Structure 1
């Protein structure tokens, strides 16, 4: 998965576009897949927004897999057939607009970790293991540089790389959506309670290093023990202490 910092900044939709998209989305829920909702102009008028704003709303709806557009006579907007993956993605997209739900996203992400560890134990190749080692090295370098922000991003890249090993496309998609959500709302890294931040990230580095060691040995019991410790050790949002936007 490409890290958020490697992508172009996301364009934030306007509130009017979001509301227009929500109104059309409600219409799709009340009709069978493939139903005609109306022309673009009909729906734009219904939503009471400008052409530009409705086009923005339409892009949101298409990105979420909720509508299709058909040209020509009898064309217009139609409710789309959604796969289970698209429906799960839409749940995450809804969270993306509410930063207060980031902690819930972390909790769900943590619940998926043992499934991804199981898949990594079975499916990790030597190349995959080498890739995980590179992320561990990046975390170690961030600890040495006393750079908690770099540590957090290297940490997330490690988890994304573990997720990428899974052959389960649905699991990979949901997990990486959640990881993107947490990362996109994280502003800075703060100390966790009274423990010095440098000491905290050093401990987290050791835990992740031991986890990768266990994966390489195919030591299922140890890997699952470590991921349980990872997710139950006191940690604020984002794995390491982080401040999310409000």
Structure 2
């Protein structure tokens, strides 16, 4: 069993495990309980009422957080001609086709997100065994396979994050940094929950948002009242 440090014990000691917190209070606690010497990420874990073992209940998509994640993202675009030029003008870090594919096949993955025009997917598909396990494979459902590469690049740079249910039906998404104002974290959380609600599968029955926990990179998880989360999402 992993040993719990003094700082973590002190942070956990400030939590009331018998209650669910309102989003604003929970995120304020996350900020107060962060004890690392770096600007920790603020992460959200949402337990959904779905069974990802069934393909019609997999929840996957992307959302542009109104205040970003506090982290700059390196974007690679597979495109040719005018679309390659549009991607470069929009701020893409790497743009190309066969040359980028060859670099990736040789083991290079120095980027955070890959975007591709539909005509490039034949080339990109050959890289699936490398990009897939790293979560870097372009996908139409997350807006990373598109002819509008300029918009895709700009949105990613502004703070677009992808989400996908894991085996247990949980979605993990970063919504900012502990240095963010609470109001910005709440608005980012609201945008995420709103996107998840809109992505609700028709096959999902009963309560959909079943549990929400927020935490910093090193800090303890703070449970949030799902009903209160729905309240802030409705105002998104």
User: Hey, which of these two has a bigger chunk of strand by percent?
Assistant: 2
Larger radius of gyration: 1
Normalization by structure 1: what TM-score?
0.27
TM-score (norm 2): 0.27
| Bigger RCO of structures 1 and 2 (CA < 8 A, at least 6 apart) | 2
Which of the pair is proportionally richer in helix?
1
